[in-house]
Structure 1
Amino acid sequence: MSDLSVRFLRSELGLIARRRRNQAGLAALAAVPIIVAVAMRLAAPSSSSPSGGPDFFSQITGNGFFVALAGLGVELTLFLPIAIAMLAGDAVAGEAQQGTLRYLLTVPVGRIRLLAVKYAGILFGAFLAPLVVAASGLISGLILFGGGAITTLSGSQIGFGSGLLRLLAICLYLGACLAALGAVGLFVSTLTEQPLGATVALAMLTVASFVLGQIPQLDWLHPYLLTQHWRDFGELLRDPVSLDGLGPGLLTAGAYIVIFLPAAWARFAGRDVTS
């Protein structure tokens, strides 16, 4: 990677980190698991024990570790996709709206390098967002409910340290899923000069994917839906871990990335940039 690319990437990541709306978005993501933990603390006696079922909420009062998992489950269908939609929708369309896109291309940056750096920024957000949710849930859960050995979905128990490694793996899996959403968002961002429009379109696409995945009559379509395998992260909580259960989700994410990143380049490469 050239010095220009490194400086451009560093500048892009710094810009993403300094934007107030991104900071507010991360704060909102972090707040949800805290609200879940406080609500469970107020609603249930401290002596309650986990039910032993696969429902993460039912196990929170027995082990604060599950606040992180419950938080990820709650935010996966709306808040996390919206966060990535905002980041991806702003990638190219935001520069065009502000009138800086044409300037960037005359630095010279080059269109391929510009898209690569923009997608790197989206990847940064895609992997950071689940980590923020998990860290917030874990800290608030341990403070309010304590920790200890973790009961897996298979019924066996693993040590807390092993549970932390699995939580990290879950965040990486969800990061890969959100990275695929970000690739679609980057493509959508090249179609318009209105970042809000790109954000709304991507958010609606995500909601539609979840809705279509709940319709049994469309089972032929389910394997191709972007969000179909997002909830498969629970496979990482089995003993032993079911790697076969993670394969479809990773393959789907990879397929969307392979399709939509070249599509974004094809659209942007032939685009007449006037702003």
Structure 2
Amino acid sequence: MTTQGPMALPEADAVPSGVLPDRRRAPITRLLRAEVRWIFRRPRTLAVLGLLAALPVITGVAVDLTMDGQGASAPAGPGGGGPGGPGGEPPIFVTMATSAFVLPLGSLMTLLMLLLPLTVAMASGDALAGEQSHGAMRGWLLAPVARGRLLVVKAVGVLVVALAASALVVTSGLVTGLVLAGTDGLVSMSGTELSVADVLWRLAIAVAWATVYLMAVGAVALAISASTEHPMVVVVSVLGGLIVSGVLMQISALDWLHPYLLPTSVTSLVDLIRDPVSFDGLGEGAFRALCYLAIGMSLAYARITTRDG
């Protein structure tokens, strides 16, 4: 009499030779939740966001104390706020002292020159290069997650950081402006009073525009991040690009090059502080940012799908 061994598999459970067991793909929503949760659990991300929230407060208090110290000795310009700016308007930092609306946009425009792009570059460096250097990328590929889907998840994580950072700066600036100037301080640089609804939709446009701009920087940073295992290389590369672009923008002989430089469009945010609003510069800047976004994501996709390991 023959008996079946205890390790023998039932015939129905036998796996045909040459056929690999089916591995289901991880749901994209679960991957996105895991990525966003991991981003906001990094201490350096929380530290940078805290710094971004504090800078508009420091700027508003400093400008308010400076204007109070000058008092009546300040030279009177249009609107009584200081020397007149282009178009007969007072300079933006002078207007900050009397307008709760100007402070958030002025702070956003200032931080878009350097600190906000570096924040996005840091997130992009951690997204690919950082996980590659720590070996965490192997876990993504074993999930299994296709490399194209992996890039989409990482890009959405960078987008969330860009949106959160921009919204945080604007919210902090608006609250600080309301505390310093009161609810009656909703005044444009043109001297016209604005309603709360008018201010809110202008700020919403500013946050959306800044998010697109930062995502363009993030796309270029992701392309660099996909080509290296060192996150600091990504941050330094973005910093170098911003510095070189700023220098080139100061050279009048290179006026033909300025429309191709991404930071050229940052000053267009000042149009949201004027009344009426002009969207020409903002539209041109958004189109320029979308071009950078498409090029950066294409390079990142080409690199991540052809890279070994």
TM-score scaled by length of structure 2: 0.83
CA distance, structure 2, for counterparts of residue 143 and residue 215 of structure 1:
40
From 22, 30, 38, give the equivalent of 1:15: 38
From 148, 152, 158, give the equivalent of 2:194: 158
State the shift of 1:116 in Å: 0.3
Conserved? CA contact 1:185–1:198, under 8 Å: yes
Conserved? CA contact 1:115–1:265, under 8 Å: yes
Conserved? CA contact 2:101–2:187, under 8 Å: no
1:89-104 equivalences under 5 Å are: 89-104=125-140
From 110, 119, 123, give the equivalent of 2:159: 123
State yes or no: 1:43 paired with 2:79.
Answer: no
State the shift of 1:65 in Å: 2.6
CA distance, structure 2, for counterparts of residue 126 and residue 142 of structure 1:
24
CA distance, structure 2, for counterparts of residue 122 and residue 54 of structure 1:
36
CA distance, structure 2, for counterparts of residue 33 and residue 152 of structure 1:
18
Identical positions, percent: 40
Alpha-carbon spacing, 1:54–1:98, altered in 2? closer, same or farther (3 Å): farther
Partner of 1:265: 301
Partner of 1:171: 207
Conserved? CA contact 1:89–1:195, under 8 Å: yes
CA distance, structure 1, for counterparts of residue 118 and residue 177 of structure 2:
25
State the shift of 1:90 in Å: 1.4
1:1-275 equivalences under 5 Å are: 4-45=27-68, 50-51=81-82, 53-148=89-184, 150-273=186-309
Amino acid at match of 1:21: R
Query: What is the aligned length?
Result: 272
State the shift of 1:269 in Å: 0.6
Per-residue CA deviation, residues 92-125 of structure 1 (Å, 9 max, x unaligned), is 0011011011221111011000000000011111
CA distance, structure 2, for counterparts of residue 3 and residue 107 of structure 1:
7
CA distance, structure 1, for counterparts of residue 179 and residue 193 of structure 2:
21
User: Alpha carbon RMSD of aligned pairs, Å?
Assistant: 1.9
**Which runs of 5 or more residues in structure 1 are unaligned?**
none
State the shift of 1:267 in Å: 0.8
